[in-house]
Amino acid sequence: MRQRLATPGPTEVPQRLLLAGAREIVHHRSTQMEELLHEVNSGLPPLFGTTRPVYTIASSGTGAMEAAVANCFSPGDEVLVVSNGYFGERFRDIALAYGLVPHVVESEWGTSADPERVAASYARHPEVKGVLVVHSETSTGVLNDVEAIGRLFRDTDVVVVVDAISGLLVHTMEADAWGLDVVLAASHKGFMLPPGLAFVSVSDRAWAAVERASGPHYYWSFQRLRRFYPMSSSSPAVSLVQGLSESLRLLTEEGMPAFRERHALLGQATEHALTALGFVPFVREPHRRGNVVTSALAPEGIDTSRLLKTLSNRHGVTMTGGQAHLKGKLIRVGHVGATDPLDLCAIIAAVEMSLLELGHRFSPGSGVGEVIRTHQEANA
């Protein structure tokens, strides 16, 4: 039975990237590695919408989140944390771990953050040194308006830190134009690679904050990253960097407009398919539904924990469910990276077969039919 990933990360890794990562390893201080890093370093900044260097760390995305907090702030600093899901809460927890004072601008899960509420919180807490916000909140599938949030702080010294770990590539990112100071990403989402690399872009305003900050760091040090750049500050994940080089070629071949259009179509098709099967879209504002993952509440009587086990054990499809209070109620269908309409047909077919096995009644093929219909209409 073939195993399929329908998660918001890790994603399916195309064979080209697997083979690139399987090439003979090179020493991380060699001429070959220097040439490879030069290629990678020149390809990353345009994807972030910046003219500044983008630094690569051997880390998970959470490591990049922690690095941003460790470098830009000092114990006792006040920060705004924009939280409308599991990863917004993670930013709060990291801030607390580093002795910061977080003022949480909280929105209900399934809704996008309201920039006006962020502005109001800043008015109440004018001493804040930073704002921590998630671009694409994969716990719910909602997309936050980081452009509007960045605009609020353009003429201040407040450092805007954006977790774009899942949203980068799938959605437009213009770090410089939008006034975003630290933008974070990772390898196992739109880049279609295994987990293990994190990426960080740092603005001039953020560098000024780094110079002021007194918090401890060594491995996470942005200053070390800058000092060693374009080489790595520590032993890099060489095989993943080799894969990243091929990933950048793959993205160039498809073209970013086509890449984003494909993901938008997959998001629409998934939502239509789940709705046809009796699911209810969880993100309430259609224009804020992201294209990384589609989340939906299960039909009445369906425990999504059982559904996910059936999908995995009977049909080889790994899918994620709700986190925290949404466990057992929500499914999250990931369609980021290399997924295409035929992949989605197979994933939705597995959902249909699993639902039938759990006793849910509907017209078989109705979900897959919506994927086909959406694809046909978009290409008419």
Q: What is the pLDDT of residues 298-328, one digit of tens each?
A: 999 999 999 999 999 999 999 999 988 899 9
pLDDT above 90: residue 28? no
The pLDDT-based confidence of 1 (bands split at 50, 70, 90) is confident
Mean pLDDT of 187-201: 98
Please give the pLDDT value at position 26. Answer: 87
Would you tell me how many other CB atoms lie within 10 Å of the CB of residue 327?
12
Token digits of residue 218: 């060594």
Under CATH, what is the fold of the domain 15-252? Answer: Aspartate Aminotransferase; domain 2 (3.40.640)
CATH number for domain 255-378, candidates 3.40.50.300, 3.90.1150.10, 3.30.565.60, 1.10.40.50: 3.90.1150.10
Please give the pLDDT value at position 77. Answer: 98
Please give the pLDDT value at position 348. Answer: 98
Token digits of residue 17: 């990237």
Mean pLDDT of 26-52: 93
pLDDT by residue (tens digit) across 251-279?
A: 999 999 999 999 999 999 999 999 999 99
The pLDDT-based confidence of 12 (bands split at 50, 70, 90) is very high
Query: Tokens 């774009």 appear where?
Result: 164
Going across the sheet that includes 101-106, the strands are 54-58, 197-202, 182-186, 159-163, 130-134, 78-83, 101-106
Mean pLDDT of 271-295: 95
Please give the pLDDT value at position 380. Answer: 83
Pick from 210, 273, 251: nearest CA to 71: 210
Is the pLDDT higher at 230 or at 28? 230
The pLDDT-based confidence of 156 (bands split at 50, 70, 90) is very high
Please give the Cα distance from 164 to 146 (Å, whole number): 10
Please give the pLDDT value at position 235. Answer: 86
- Please report how the helices 256-276 and 341-357 are oriented relative to each other, as an axis angle in degrees rounded to 10: 20
pLDDT above 90: residue 164? yes
Please give the pLDDT value at position 295. Answer: 97
The pTM for the full model equals: 0.96
Give the CA angle between residues 242, 248, 249 to the nearest 5°. Answer: 95
Q: Is 216 left (phi over 0), alpha (psi -120 to 50) or beta?
A: beta
Please give the pLDDT value at position 123. Answer: 98
The pLDDT-based confidence of 153 (bands split at 50, 70, 90) is very high
Mean pLDDT of 231-246: 93
Pick from 139, 201, 140, 196: nearest CA to 168: 201
pLDDT by residue (tens digit) across 98-135?
A: 999 999 999 999 999 999 999 999 999 999 999 999 99
The pLDDT-based confidence of 232 (bands split at 50, 70, 90) is confident
- Structural contact between residues 135 and 160, judged by C-beta atoms closer than 8 angstroms: no
Q: Dihedral of the CA atoms 257, 21, 139, 356 (nearest 10)?
A: 90
pLDDT above 90: residue 176? yes
Mean pLDDT of 191-196: 98
Please give the pLDDT value at position 324. Answer: 85
Mean pLDDT of 330-340: 97
The pLDDT-based confidence of 219 (bands split at 50, 70, 90) is very high
Mean pLDDT of 199-208: 98
Spell out the alpha helix ranges (H) of the chain. Answer: 15-21, 31-43, 45-48, 61-72, 86-97, 115-124, 146-152, 175-178, 204-212, 222-228, 238-254, 256-276, 304-315, 341-357, 366-378
- Name the DSSP letter for residue 224: H
Please give the pLDDT value at position 132. Answer: 98
Please give the Cα distance from 236 to 238 (Å, whole number): 5
Same fold, 15-252 and 255-378: no
Please give the Cα distance from 176 to 292 (Å, whole number): 23
Please give the pLDDT value at position 151. Answer: 97
Token digits of residue 359: 């006793």
Query: Tokens 């990237």 appear where?
Result: 17
Residue ranges of domains in the chain: 15-252, 255-378
Phi, psi of 216, deg, nearest 5: -80, 145
Please give the Cα distance from 345 to 351 (Å, whole number): 10
Q: What percent of the chain has pLDDT over 90?
A: 92
Token digits of residue 290: 């992201």
Strand-pair category, 293-297 with 280-281? antiparallel
Average pLDDT of the chain, as a whole number? 96
Q: Per-residue b/e over 28-52, b at no fewer than 16 CB within 10 Å? A: beeeebeebbeebbebbbebbbbee
Please give the Cα distance from 126 to 57 (Å, whole number): 33
